[in-house]
Amino acid sequence: MRKSLKGEGVVVVVVVVVIVVVVVVVVVVVVVVVVVVVVVLVVVVVVLVVIVVVVVAVVVVVVVDVVVITVVVVVVVVVVVVVVVVVVVVVIVVVVVIVVVVVAVVVVVVVVVVVVVVVVVVVVVELVVVTVIITVVVVVVVDRQCKCI
């Protein structure tokens, strides 16, 4: 019996060693699989976070670009409208000033012409009146002188 027990002891030790080796291999494989799964999950999460950050950044850049472009367009339109309004007002003022100056010059010229015509007419009338008076006086004096002789 002793011989068989010794042989059985070796078999038991071999079986125990095989079981321990199998358990260790299984544990190592499970640990490796868990580590690989965790690493893959972490990589997937990191990639997803990077994708989300990139998408959010692109959306923010696009929104900011749209807002900036809109603000620039609005500012340009407002500046153009203000410049056009100012130019139109300046042109209207210049035209009004030119018209007023031309009308004033025409009025002054007309007044001067009228005054000159009136003065000339008055002078001519006075000359005629004076000439008539002198003629009448001369005629009367000559007529009287002639009667006296």
What's the confidence (pLDDT) of residue 72? 92
Instruction: Tell me what the pLDDT averaged over the chain comes to.
Output: 87
Distance CA(62)–CA(68), nearest Å, equals 10
CA quadruple 92, 93, 95, 98: dihedral, nearest 10? 170
Distance CA(52)–CA(58), nearest Å, equals 10
What's the confidence (pLDDT) of residue 17? 83
Q: Which residues of the chain have pLDDT under 50?
A: 1-3
Reading the block at residue 11, the tokens are: 């078999």
pTM over 0.75: no
